[in-house]
Chain A
Amino acid sequence: MTQGAIKSIVISVAVMASFSSTNVGAQSARDQISIVGSSTVYPFATVVAEQFGRGSRFKTPTVESTGSGGGLKLFCAGIGVGTPDIANSSRRIKSSEVETCASSGVEEIVEVKIGYDGIVLANSVAAGQLSLTTRDIFLALAKEVPNPNGAESLIANPYQKWSDIRADLPDSNIEVLGPPPTSGTRDAFVELAMEGGCKNFAWIKALKKNDESRYKSICHTIREDGRFVEAGENDNLIVQKLQANDKALGIFGFSFLDQNSDVVQGSRVDGEDPTFENIADGAYPVSRPLYFYVKKAHVGTIPGIEEYLAEFVSDRAMGEEGYLADRGLIPLPADEYAAVVDAVKNLRNLSL
């Protein structure tokens, strides 16, 4: 035992020493694309990465799911093999992030818009399909709503049942399961659905010009009295909870509705069903573009970036009948698609 113990100490010291001597060499070369970013773009980026890895002579890129903000922070940390080559994002890069990027030497960025993602409000197929307006959504979920008596003032949200908002909505308690504030889906939902409904009130809309921060706080703040439940980032969990409770409504991305269409149904918003076609032609109001950003300085140094980009924007991936559409990504309209292909071919720099 003693001898064994000493031997194991010697071996492990040797192992440590060999690791620390090899790490310097390993850092100087990376033959694999490194991708970070949004968990919404993750299911699409990974499909392309896998196809690319199997179909080409390059290694399969690694795709990390860090969230849009976290991914762009890593992406903007600098140039060099230690930093990622591509950042996925479920929102457009902010000008503050572009500045951070530039200050650490990442000056040339190529923006690629890959398609649209619909955000749906769904409930169990055991219950009836709801038909909501963005105004209903705002009134059901905002922390403070305009006084129902018509005065231009706010009161704490008094609505407990859907039928309190509009008489033809079901007579059941408002109960909505949605993502936490760290999620890009939540940001987009708040901006598109809540703000979309909020703007219906002329006096609130007028605030946008005079007092934008107040306007945002009215339109973007979700109620905290238990009617809206933060159900975590895992959309599968929300689907399961909807199956168990047919009175509840859940908020998640279109691809989850698409995969679970036998157990949950999407609610109509402003008279439009959340179908592939309606999101694609923009009729369905709650949809957002998805992006990824490429560090131009790495093109040519890290092998395979150009080929990966070519695979991503190819017709068989991003096209109308491509494999990304099978996974629930809503393809770009023809003119936008042509512009993206052109931008990628020429590696055109981002201009906000």
Chain B
Amino acid sequence: MSEESPSNSALRSSVETRKRVEASLGARYRRENRFRFFGLLAVLVSVSFVAFFFVSIISQGYTAFTQTYIQVDVYFDPDVVSPDGSRAPDVLSQVNYSRLIKDGLGSMFPEVSGRKPKQLLNRLVSNGAIYELRDRVMAEPDIIGSRESLWFLADDEIDAWFKQYSRGDDADGAARLGDAQIGWLRQLVAQGRLEQRFNTVFFTSGDSRDPEMAGIWAAAKGSFFMLVVCMSIAFPLGVAASIYLEEFAPRNRWVDLIEVNINNLAAVPSIVFGLLGLAVFINFLSLPRSAPLVGGLVLALMTLPTIIIASRSAITAVPPSIREAALGIGASPVQAVVHHVLPLAMPGMLTGAILGIARALGETAPLLMIGMVAFIVEAPQTPLDPSSALPVQIYLWADSPERAFAERTAAAIMVLLAFLLVMNATAVWLRSKYERRW
């Protein structure tokens, strides 16, 4: 070693290094590739979970967006509707409208006789049909005595059969219908008296125990009221708290304690907030049970820590030079914050707030305690009326014995997901539009 010239030894050592590097190169590449492979695998696994979730929800739920209607010839028989000729609303609202439908179906299938077969025949049409007829007659009493072909909602089991039949699947084997019913249905199909239409009922009506009449409107309205209440309380409080903590609060043990507690509060299970809501808002302040107002208050408590944390990090992201410049040209601390820091931090705060509401929109656990997991038909008119919420509706339908609720459950999940996607997209858009980089 020592006899060689320095340049020679340098050359040798570099050759050696090169050799050693080359020898280990294959292993290094393999390690590199393995690492990338595992990363890619992790992404693929999560993507496939998401894809599986979407495929299963959509394949179960898309059929709920259409609904089968059935055409029945109805004779508004004066003997049934107003035997004494009276057209007073009190009389017309108490008429046995199911007679009209029974007679209509009977005239279409005159061969059906006997109590049990007739009962089955009447079940082709939804229970809601009699209320449709009642509303029609009360709105235009002149219809009494005339004949009309009307389209009614079909019963949920007929709906299931017709959907499978139209797709060409084995409908008869899958349905829980007797041979007689399937015979009538085939006859109706041949006469063009069965039809699938877009399911407007699903979007415009409240809950019902008859799947064909059940909709998400009341629940969506309840969710809307809750989120309005939640945001109008949590956002201003959260922003005010974060500005104070970040810009004005003295650094001492008490403030540290508050900060630690806010972070802890963000991790508290949501059912605990429900218990708190029951104790404070319902039992102590005696606000009404099942009201979106109480739901909104509970969700506000729940989202408050999330908003405070997001807002504080948005404020920290504003460079100190902005504050210093404002103070330097004579702005008061409040002016510096309100005129300069707050506008720059606002996109970040809004993003945090939207993500907070998106979480609040999907909560059911706290609502159980305050009575919002309930069967409620009428849509709430104010935040004080009893109401359920979208995730609650999903939970209740998932637990219903009637099979047709399964597809409606999946459809309601799709609607909820659509809302969440819109909210998250808004958050992304706000961030990219207003965010400033320094």
Contacts and interface: CB of A to CB of B under 8 A. Distances in A.
B406 interface: yes
A49 to B, nearest CB: 6
Given A49-B375, A60-B376, A60-B378, A235 B286 contact: no
Interface string A50-79: 100110000110111110000000000000
B241 interface: no
Given A11-B232, A13-B236, A234 B384 contact: no
Contacts of A19: 229, 293, 383
Interface string B147-182: 000000000000000000000000000111000000
Given A23-B287, A50-B377, A2 B343 contact: yes
A261 B293 CA distance: 42
A65 B232 contact: no
Interface residues of B, number: 49
B282 interface: yes
B233 interface: yes
Interface string A31-50: 01010100100110111011
A262 interface: yes
Residue among B127, B235, B236, B402 with the highest chain A CB neighbour number at 10 A: B236
Given A2-B342, A5-B342, A43 B236 contact: no
Contact of B398 (A34, A45, A49, A234): A234
B209 A50 contact: yes
Given A1-B346, A34-B289, A236-B399, A59 B232 contact: no
A328 B403 CA distance: 14
A287 interface: no
A27 interface: yes
B373 A65 contact: yes
Contacts of B231: 12
Nearest to B214: A50
B338 interface: yes
B263 interface: no
Contacts of B239: 5, 9
A8 interface: yes
A53 B210 CA distance: 14
Residue among B131, B384, B401 with the highest chain A CB neighbour number at 10 A: B401
A65 to B, nearest CB: 6
A341 to B, nearest CB: 21
A30 B371 CA distance: 15
A39 B375 CA distance: 11
Nearest to A6: B338
Interface of B: 127, 131, 174-176, 208-210, 229, 231-233, 235-236, 239-240, 282, 285-291, 293, 338-339, 342-343, 346, 368, 371, 373-378, 383-384, 386, 396, 398-403, 406
Interface of A: 1-2, 5-6, 8-9, 11-13, 15-16, 19, 22-23, 26-27, 30, 32, 34, 36, 39, 42-43, 45-47, 49-50, 53-54, 59-60, 62-66, 82, 84, 233-236, 253, 255-256, 258-262, 323, 327-328
- Give me the 3 closest cross-chain CB pairs, A-B, nearest first: A12-B232, A63-B375, A60-B377
26 contacts: A1-B346, A2-B339, A2-B342, A6-B338, A9-B239, A11-B232, A13-B236, A15-B229, A26-B288, A26-B384, A30-B288, A32-B386, A43-B400, A49-B375, A49-B377, A50-B377, A64-B373, A65-B374, A65-B396, A82-B289, A233-B399, A234-B399, A255-B401, A260-B403, A262-B175, A327-B209
